[in-house]
A = this chain, B = another copy of it.
Amino acid sequence: MNAQESLQIEMACTRLVNQFSLFNDARNFEALSQLFAADGAFARPTDPENFVSGRDGILAAFQARPHDRITRHIISNIVIDVVDAEKARGVCYATLFMAPVDAEPAMFGVKANSSQLIGEFYMDFVQTGDGWKIARQTGKIILAT
Contacts and interface: CB of A to CB of B under 8 A. Distances in A.
Interface residues of A, number: 45
A117 interface: yes
Nearest to A140: B109
A76 B74 contact: yes
A47 to B, nearest CB: 10
CB-based closest 10 A-B pairs:
A106-B144, A108-B141, A109-B141, A112-B143, A74-B76, A18-B77, A112-B145, A109-B144, A109-B143, A18-B79
Given A22-B79, A112-B144, 12 more contacts: A4-B8, A7-B8, A10-B11, A15-B79, A18-B77, A22-B91, A46-B108, A70-B143, A72-B143, A110-B143, A111-B145, A114-B145
